[in-house]
Amino acid sequence: MTFPRPLGGVAFDLDGVLTDTARAHFRAWKRLADSLGIPFDEAANEALKGVDRMGSLALILGDRPGFDAERRGALAAGKNRWYLEEIDSFGPSDLFPGAREALESCRAAGLAVTLASASRNAPLLLRKLGIEAMFDIVVDPAAVANGKPAPDIFLAAAAAVGVAPPAMLGIEDSAAGVTAIHAADMAALGIGPPGSLPDADRLIPSIADFRLADYAGAA
């Protein structure tokens, strides 16, 4: 996709884009897997990037029997308690370098700024990071029918701010997220090391490398 291009809004992911909660998620999921006697390591954790809580649990459990909906709900709730313990000490200093500046540049340009995170804890984390007021809308992942890689959460973000999806830029650090952005008919900016997200329209190492002028032209 050609950049710069006319933009009316930006949809940010949270984990891995604006802050690093990957270790907190990993420790919480590993604690759960260990309690069930299920092998779980960094490689297994990579498969959970961009996937919502119940989807991640399904990947960990696989086709093992004995996990009905009630038990899965209890396990997911337990993982979430452990995750909340992990992020209890988070604050503004846990923002990635350049994250606040990226949000400010989008707002200063008059773009709609939205959050399209699979995390149901996103509002809490935004408050801890001190950036809650910088978003026009934070999409509730529980309110969309399908999680990433389906496009639902990105389409909901665009609809909430009244911007046509082709005039949105989605920013993600996961393959599932990039797939979701493209399925929503948006441009996808990936964040990660070289070669990590081959389907992204452009890839940068970190949010500190984000320069709005590289992506946004006259609307």
pLDDT tens-digit series, residues 56-90 = 999 999 999 989 999 999 999 999 999 889 888 89
Domain with CATH 3.40.50.1000 in the chain: 5-19+92-217
Q: What angle do CA 3, 8, 11 make, to 5 degrees?
A: 85
**Assigned CATH for 22-86:** 1.10.150.240
pLDDT (tens digit per residue) in 7-39: 999 999 999 999 988 888 899 999 999 999 999
Q: Please give the Cα distance from 140 to 120 (Å, whole number).
A: 7
Over residues 172-188, mean pLDDT = 96
Beta carbons within 8 Å of 204's beta carbon, 6+ residues apart: 189, 190, 191, 210
What is the tens place of the pLDDT at every residue in 118-145? 888 899 999 999 999 999 999 999 899 9
Phi/psi region, residue 47 (left: phi>0; alpha: psi -120 to 50; beta: rest), is: alpha
Beta strands in 128-209 (DSSP E): 137-138, 168-172, 187-191, 202-204
Q: What is the value of pTM for the model shown? A: 0.84
Binding residues: 13-15, 29, 48-53, 56, 79, 117-121, 148, 172-173
The pair of three-digit structure tokens given for residue 47, joined into one six-digit string:
């498969």
Give the pLDDT of residue 219: 61
The per-residue pLDDT for 213 is 96
Strands 9-12 and 168-172: parallel
**What is the reported pLDDT for 83?**
87
Could you give the C-alpha distances from 50 to 53, 127, 216, in angstroms and in order? 10, 21, 25
Q: If we measure between CA atoms, which residue out of 62, 63, 56, 59 comes closest to residue 79?
A: 56
pLDDT-derived band at 211 (thresholds 50, 70, 90) equals very high
Write the CB contacts of 171 (distance below 8 Å, at least 6 apart in sequence). Answer: 10, 11, 12, 13, 17, 189, 191, 207, 210
Q: Which two tokens stand for residue 181?
A: 């952005």
Q: Please, are residues 135 and 115 in contact by the beta-carbon 8 Å criterion?
A: yes
* Strands of 121-173, DSSP E: 137-138, 168-172
Residue (of 210, 195, 181) closest to 50 by Cα position: 181
Closest of 22, 25, 18 to residue 172, by C-alpha: 18
Distances (CA, A) of 5 to 8, 32, 145, 167: 10, 44, 30, 8
Q: Which residues are annotated as a binding site for substrate?
A: 13-15, 29, 48-53, 56, 79, 117-121, 148
Start and end residues for every CATH 1.10.150.240 domain found in the chain: 22-86
Options 3.40.190.10, 3.60.40.10, 3.40.50.1000, 3.40.50.720; CATH for 5-19+92-217 is: 3.40.50.1000
Average pLDDT over every residue of 166-171: 98
Over the chain, what is the mean pLDDT?
94
Model confidence band, residue 51 (pLDDT cutoffs 50, 70, 90)? confident
Catalytically active residues are 13, 15
